[in-house]
Amino acid sequence: MTPAWTIYAWPPVKWQADSTPDLHFVHLGTRVLNPGDEDGPSTGQTLWGGPLSEGAAGVAWDWVQLEQGIVAMADPLGLITNLQLLGAGGEKLTGMEVAMRLNEIVHTLPWQTEVQRALDRAA
């Protein structure tokens, strides 16, 4: 799997924030970084992305297994992306605005299923 944090090296892609529903990301990979034990939960990273006319775009985040069959984003504000989301006037959105838009994208993805598959493989 491509490490999630390589998104920092991807060329930036400018995208209108109002067009985020038009993004069609696919699963690029999920890693289990800690398989979990009695001292701590399973944790890892997942990476999603897809081609746009301006280049490849992606978003990645850390996840944590809360209990068997239940995973959550480790930090909903800690997503990384190469997208530069722009407002209607072409201005860059603030960090909080970007985080809110990225969370909207994440919640449309079947990422928990992919994380569970990775956990099953690691078991």
**Confidence at residue 37, expressed as pLDDT on a 0 to 100 scale:** 83
Q: Which residues contact 7 (CB under 8 A, 6 or more apart)?
A: 47, 49, 58, 59, 60, 80, 81, 82
Tell me the pTM. Answer: 0.90
Run means of pLDDT, 10 residues per run, the chain, 123 residues: 79 90 90 88 95 90 94 95 94 94 94 96 88
Q: What are the tokens at 6?
A: 């390589």
**Confidence at residue 104, expressed as pLDDT on a 0 to 100 scale:** 92
**Confidence at residue 1, expressed as pLDDT on a 0 to 100 scale:** 63
Domains of the chain as residue ranges with CATH:
4-122 (3.10.450.610)
Nearest 5°: CA angle at 103, between 101 and 83? Answer: 55
